Structure 1
Amino acid sequence: MRTICAALLLISYLGEPSIAAEDTTGGRARMLVLADMGNEPDEEQQIVHLVACCNEFDVEGLIAVTGKYLHPGSPTAYRQRLHPELFHQIIDAYEKAFPNLKKHADGWADPDHLRSVVASGQTGYGIEDTGPGKSTAGSKRIIDAVTKDDPRPLWVVVNAGSNTLAQALIDYRASHTAAEVADFVSRLRVFENGAQDNSGAWICAEFPDIHWIRSNYQTYAYGGPGGDGKKDNRGSRQSLGPYTWKPYEYSGLGQHHWALDHIKSDNGPLGVAWPLRQFSGGRLSFLEGGGTVPWLGLVNKGLFSIDHVNWGGWSGRFDPQKTSNDWSKHRSVRDDEQTGRPFKVYAEAEDHWIDPETGEDFSGIFAPVWRFRRATWNDFAARLDWCVRSYDQANHHPVAAIGDDAGDAILFRSGTAGEPLSLDATKSTDPDGDQLRFRWWFYPEAGTYTGELPAIRNGETATPSFNVPQDANGQTIHLVLEITDTGRPYPLTDYRRIVIRVGT
């Protein structure tokens, strides 16, 4: 996609009030991942997917850690130790695809840089394996990334246990002032997937100001959450969400048939490195578990804000106020948390969404991810094409523009209660010359206005308009421009979010 505009750019067009492109998150994000590599194939799936998107963000750490299922007490020998070598195997595959990827987009991480940020964290389980003298290469990597001379916050994805992050906080606090520790904590944006050890609750109790998202279930909506590995490999069809892998069967098995044809087949070294999510006895599950969603929002900077958890995007949506004691879904972890101190996290929020292609109605905590699934799957498949195809043989992302602004920043627009408001996206483009389909839609859950939203006139064109609600004074309304090209085999989508601040 594209590089973010300057921090504050005022644009006037067509005699309308100015739009401000406010970059409050630093644009291209910095990110670091903690993963229990070797626990099951979804870790490798999500890291292959991550490196296929790493032109969109800066990778500051790939840290192998323990968790509920991978630790010295595991009944399986392979799961009793860390496996940083799996990161290196995927980076080796990425290096083979690297020359071809550079033909399709700019910004790719150098393979040697990725190797340099691989580290191992705590070797034991939970907060019990932290404390003085227990620093690891992984905890030091976290400190180095946070304290780097860079004003951007660090997006930390915890796809396992979080005791290595706890160790980093313990070590930093031991040698710094309270003010320095507060500054260190303020630089963190943590997304904890699954609460897979007791360290997350400890961190949030010990450092209550930390920005901490906890997703127990919503992250599974990338491919699921229909049940894991049923005997017929079809999972729970009632909870698989929108059917985005047609014409293959609507089941976990059908998802894998889609992946065999569109991810693994003829897509070079990264396709080979992406494993099937297969368990002992040959059981399959839905794709990529929960590990992809926590970082996926960073791909769409014009839609997703790392500072506003309730705005939504490819990484889901969460309540704007912290929730007390949002316990882990895992009983053993939950039992530990319930004997500890109270803690607060940003918890999963619900959306109501009607699929515009099918008219199917979805509500609940999975809908914030499901509403973007069609675009996210197409994005991944297209990126795998980039590994092996020439530029002319592949599809590339369109560029959504509002007025003259073709950047990535989320836009802020003033509106007057009771008055019409119009927008112009006619300067949107497609690098392949494909036709564009426009769709403008309100994201009611993201704004503060709770009344009835108006109809959007010409909402499938480049020039929509609507009347700002009469009773919306002092509130915000979120409008999303979604443009999708007609490229084949995978139509690609770009977004711009406009936050309308309503006055009189």
Structure 2
Amino acid sequence: MVHADMYEIEAIIISTGWSIKNVDHVNHFKEIATGVIDAYQKDLPNLIKRSDQHGFSQDNEKQEIGYWPSADYLKKRTMFGSKLMGMDKIGADNKSEGSNFIIQLADEDDGRPLWVTFWGGGNTLAQSIWQVQENRSKSEVEAFLKKLRVYAITDQDRPQKSDFESSSHAWMRYNFSDDLLFIWDECAWKFQNGTGKSNWSEYEKNIQNHGKLGSQYPKYKYGVEGDTPSFLHVLPNGLNNPDEPTQASWGGYSKWGSGEDNIYSYVNYKGNGYDTCRKYMDHFYPAIFNNFAARMDWAKEGDGNRNPIVAIDGDQSIDILTKKPLQGTTVVLDASASSDPDGDTLNYKWWIQPEAGTYSGTVNIQNSDSNKATLEIPANSAGKNFHVVCEVTDNGTPELTSYRRIIFEPTE
């Protein structure tokens, strides 16, 4: 909830999963969600100071980055989805407030995608798709699916040790892969789970008992923040386009391929995909944790460190930039107009993410730790692309990092 100003939270839908064994458990999880929102409400007077917000005028409008929604807004959008697990439950008798609301949201006249992140089982979304199939034409179903994006933390729409075919996740990926972007994560959540657990003392010190939200933060049972990569992938920090899972993000990395059940989607459960995901999660973990800790400071104190603003060639947005220089030339990338809202000193790091591009050769970066980097555009790179990331970290407490991604598409 201390990241609530970075998203337009459309709904919090309580569903099933490995930690929820029966309908009573589902009901209990709604009580947990409501308790967290109550704590958020008590911390809001401090949190809104981070963006100098006054009032909640955007609750029922398009919410901009930096806007903190009211607790009343969040409670109204907290609801039950499917209370029973598995594909065999999908059908006319499985409709829920959650499945109906997903359809309503996707039908809104809003050009933005609707991200549905699965922290448990995803059969509430599967039910929504089933309902749309029953009432709409093929082209209308395709349009509905193209509005949606899925990031699933493992596959929890089945008993943990059972076959995948019993899960509605498999049904969605098998039947709708042409129209539904589906990320099936089996790497980032495991890294976060284990790394958070091994660094638990830092969570005790910097997260627990920081504000009312910190008082709600429990001692781990299985791991720490294992579901978090699903929404960190969508975090608007300049690092990635969430629609492109090969662009490394705070939610890891995945690539198009066959999953554990031999159905294609964006996966990372083994081989190069898994290793690449682990590499970037390891790289980003300190920045992810520091960002969380700084926001908990705001919840507690109404004050704290804030992220740098990265400006590339004068552009201060978080948009991904595209440049089309001639191959064989030299290009200077200028981040000297970057700034920090707290006046902190900034440190720079420029690097290539090779997995995101199509150029397989070496790209040399000179002055990669300066606010101005020089790139030598390879002589054989026309018609291909490569990705440069600018990473800017302040010297505040804790140190916070922001990013920009620049895609080079050299020409002849």
TM norm. shorter chain > 0.5: yes
Change (3 A) 1:432 1:413: same
SS of 1:203 mapped into structure 2: helix
Query: How far has the Cα of 1:317 moved from its partner?
Result: 1.1
Q: Any idea what the Cα deviations from partners look like across 1:59-108, whole Å, max 9, x if unmatched?
A: 01111111244233xxxx96475621211111000000111111112311
Change (3 A) 1:97 1:409: same
Cα distance in 2 for residues equivalent to 1:491 and 1:429: 14
Aligned equivalent of 2:13? 63
Residue 348 (structure 1) aligned with residue 298 (structure 2): no
For 2:207, the aligned partner's letter is I
Q: Is the 8 A contact 2:357 2:386 kept in 1?
A: yes
For 1:270, the aligned partner's letter is L
Change (3 A) 1:80 1:219: closer
Query: How far has the Cα of 1:218 moved from its partner?
Result: 2.7
SS of 1:151 mapped into structure 2: coil
Q: Any idea what the Cα deviations from partners look like across 1:162-203, whole Å, max 9, x if unmatched?
A: 111111111111111111111000001101111112110011
Cα distance in 2 for residues equivalent to 1:413 and 1:164: 41
For 2:217, the aligned partner's letter is W
Q: Any idea what the Cα deviations from partners look like across 1:320-366, whole Å, max 9, x if unmatched?
A: x3x23x12xxxxxxxxx6xxxx63211118899xxxxxxxxx95441
Q: Any idea what the Cα deviations from partners look like across 1:8-56, whole Å, max 9, x if unmatched?
A: xxxxxxxxxxxxxxxxxxxxxxxxxxxxxxxxxxxxxxxxxxx110101
Which of 106, 111, 118 is matched with 1:146 structurally?
106
Residue 421 (structure 1) aligned with residue 331 (structure 2): yes
Aligned equivalent of 1:480? 389
Residue 171 (structure 1) aligned with residue 135 (structure 2): no
SS of 2:300 mapped into structure 1: coil
Which of 221, 240, 244 is matched with 1:304 structurally?
240
Aligned equivalent of 2:229? 293
Residue 215 (structure 1) aligned with residue 185 (structure 2): yes
Residue 95 (structure 1) aligned with residue 41 (structure 2): yes
Residue 389 (structure 1) aligned with residue 301 (structure 2): yes
Cα distance in 2 for residues equivalent to 1:502 and 1:167: 45
SS of 1:60 mapped into structure 2: coil
Runs ≥4 residues deviating over 6 A: 349-352
> Structure 1: which 5+ residue stretches go unaligned?
1-50, 225-239, 241-250, 279-284, 328-336, 353-361
Q: Is the 8 A contact 1:277 1:286 kept in 2?
A: yes
Aligned equivalent of 2:60? none
Q: Any idea what the Cα deviations from partners look like across 1:120-147, whole Å, max 9, x if unmatched?
A: 1111111111101321011112112211
Aligned equivalent of 2:406? 498
Q: Is the 8 A contact 2:185 2:267 kept in 1?
A: yes
Change (3 A) 1:169 1:374: same
Residue 260 (structure 1) aligned with residue 204 (structure 2): yes
Cα distance in 1 for residues equivalent to 2:127 and 2:21: 16
Q: Is the 8 A contact 1:71 1:125 kept in 2?
A: no
Within 5 A, what are the aligned runs for 1:1-12? Answer: none
Query: How far has the Cα of 1:438 moved from its partner?
Result: 0.8
Q: Is the 8 A contact 2:90 2:123 kept in 1?
A: yes
Query: How far has the Cα of 1:486 moved from its partner?
Result: 0.6
Aligned equivalent of 1:470? 379
Change (3 A) 1:121 1:498: same
Cα distance in 1 for residues equivalent to 2:4 and 2:26: 30
Change (3 A) 1:431 1:477: same
Residue 376 (structure 1) aligned with residue 288 (structure 2): yes
Q: Is the 8 A contact 1:66 1:82 kept in 2?
A: no
Residue 405 (structure 1) aligned with residue 405 (structure 2): no
> Structure 2: which 5+ residue stretches go unaligned?
52-65, 158-166
Change (3 A) 1:71 1:349: closer
Query: How far has the Cα of 1:299 moved from its partner?
Result: 2.2
Cα distance in 2 for residues equivalent to 1:496 and 1:129: 44
Within 5 A, what are the aligned runs for 1:356-367? Answer: 363-367=275-279
For 1:466, the aligned partner's letter is L
For 2:122, the aligned partner's letter is S
Cα distance in 2 for residues equivalent to 1:472 and 1:69: 49
Residue 130 (structure 1) aligned with residue 130 (structure 2): no
Aligned equivalent of 1:44? none
Query: How far has the Cα of 1:205 moved from its partner?
Result: 2.0
Q: Any idea what the Cα deviations from partners look like across 1:222-242, whole Å, max 9, x if unmatched?
A: 242xxxxxxxxxxxxxxx4xx
Aligned equivalent of 2:59? none
Change (3 A) 1:468 1:185: same
Cα distance in 2 for residues equivalent to 1:435 and 1:349: 39
Q: Any idea what the Cα deviations from partners look like across 1:230-275, whole Å, max 9, x if unmatched?
A: xxxxxxxxxx4xxxxxxxxxx93x522111111114x110100111
For 2:89, the aligned partner's letter is D
Cα distance in 2 for residues equivalent to 1:154 and 1:104: 26
Q: Is the 8 A contact 1:71 1:81 kept in 2?
A: no
Aligned equivalent of 1:248? none
Q: Any idea what the Cα deviations from partners look like across 1:294-319, whole Å, max 9, x if unmatched?
A: 11122234112121111111111111
Select the structure that is richer in helix.
2
Q: Is the 8 A contact 1:397 1:494 kept in 2?
A: yes
Q: Is the 8 A contact 2:187 2:269 kept in 1?
A: no
Cα distance in 2 for residues equivalent to 1:304 and 1:100: 29
Q: Is the 8 A contact 2:15 2:26 kept in 1?
A: no
Question: How many pairs does the alignment contain?
Answer: 387
Cα distance in 1 for residues equivalent to 2:104 and 2:217: 30
For 1:407, the aligned partner's letter is S
TM-score (norm 1): 0.73
Aligned equivalent of 1:433? 343
TM-score (norm 2): 0.89
Aligned equivalent of 1:36? none
Change (3 A) 1:382 1:83: same
Cα distance in 2 for residues equivalent to 1:223 and 1:297: 16
For 2:409, the aligned partner's letter is R
SS of 2:109 mapped into structure 1: coil
CA RMSD of aligned residues (A): 2.0
Aligned equivalent of 2:161? none
